Amino acid sequence: MKKVSISFTLNGDAVTAEVPVTWTLLRTLREFFELTGPKEGCGAGECGACTVIIDGEAVNSCLYPIPEVEGRTVTTIEGIADSDGTLHPLQNAFLENNGVQCGFCTSGMIMSAKSLLDHKPDPTEDEIRTSIAGNLCRCTGYVQIVEAIEMAAETVKQKG
C-alpha cells in the first residue's frame, strides 16, 4: 500500500506523519500520533465523536482523507488545555455541570462547542444546539451539555 508523508500543525506543533495514503485523519490521529481523544463511533459522519478543528472549523475527522491535511492546522481535545495543565473553560464547565456521563461523545462535543465559541463568544441556546446537532450523546445528557457550554461562554466572556 502506498505511503505518503504529510506535514501539518497538530495542537501547535509542526508534525509529519508517514501513513498509507488511504488513511483518514482520525486513523492517523489515533494510530500514528496515539491521540485517542477523537473517537470512532459510526465512521460515517453521523455521530460526531471524531470531531476535530481544522483551520478553525469543526469537521468529522473520520471523513477527512489524510492527504487533504497537508499544510493545515489541526486541533484535537488534547490540544485545548494550557501548556501548564490549566483546563479550557469548556473542559471545566463540562466537569462542573455534569456534562459527561460515559464520556465517549465528550471530546467531539467539546470540539464542536469550541469552534462555536471561537466564532461567537455569546451564542444563543439555539445556536449552541445547532452547533452540537452533529454530535450524538446516547446517555441522553444534552441538557447538561448545553448548560455546560452556556457556562463556558460566560467564563470566556468574564475573562475578556
Partner 1 sequence: MIDFDYKKPGSVKEVLSLLKDYGPKATLIAGGTDVMVNMRNRQLSPEVLVSLRGLDDLRYIRKNSGYHIGGLTTHRMLEQSDMVRTELSALHDGASRVGSVQIRNVATIGGNICNAAPSADTAGPLLVLDAVVVLEGPDGRRRVPISEFFTGPSKTVRKQDEVLIEFDIPEEMEGFGSAYWKHSRRKAMDLPILGVAVAVRLADDETVSDVRIGLTVAAPTPIRAYKAEEFLRGKRLNDDVLEEAGKIASSESSPRDSMRGKEWYRRDIIQVFVPRMARLAAERLRNQ
Residue 51 binds to partner 1 (criterion: CB under 8 A): yes
Segment 56 to 95, residues that bind partner 1, using CB under 8 A: 57-60, 62-65, 67-68, 70
Looking at the Cβ atoms of 57 and 96, the one nearer to partner 1 is 57
Work out whether the CA dihedral 7, 8, 14, 15 comes out positive or negative.
negative
- Report the C-alpha gap between 49 and 59 in whole angstroms: 10
Instruction: Rule CB under 8 A: say whether 115 interacts with partner 1.
Output: yes
Q: Of the two residues 18 and 96, which places its CB atom closer to partner 1 in the complex? A: 18
Interface stretch with partner 1, choices 16-24, 29-37, 91-99, 145-153 (CB under 8 A): 16-24
**What residues does 7 pair with on adjacent strands?**
16
First to last CA, the chain: 50
**Looking at beta carbons only, is 12 or 56 nearer to partner 1?**
56
Q: Can you spell out the DSSP letters for 59-91?
A: EEGGG-BGGGGTT-EEE-GGGSS-TTSPPPHHH
| CA–CA distance, 88 with 80 (Å, rounded to integer) | 6
Give yes or no for a contact between 66 and 23, defined as CB atoms under 8 angstroms apart. Answer: yes
Cβ atoms of 42 and 15 closer than 8 Å: no
Q: Which is nearer to partner 1, 7 or 22 (CB)?
A: 22
- Which x/- pattern, by CB under 8 A, does the window 117-146 give for partner 1? -------------xx-xxxx----------
Q: Does 103 bind partner 1 (CB under 8 A)?
A: no
Using CB under 8 A, list all residues that contact partner 1.
1-2, 4, 21-22, 24, 43-46, 48, 51, 57-60, 62-65, 67-68, 70, 112, 115-116, 130-131, 133-136
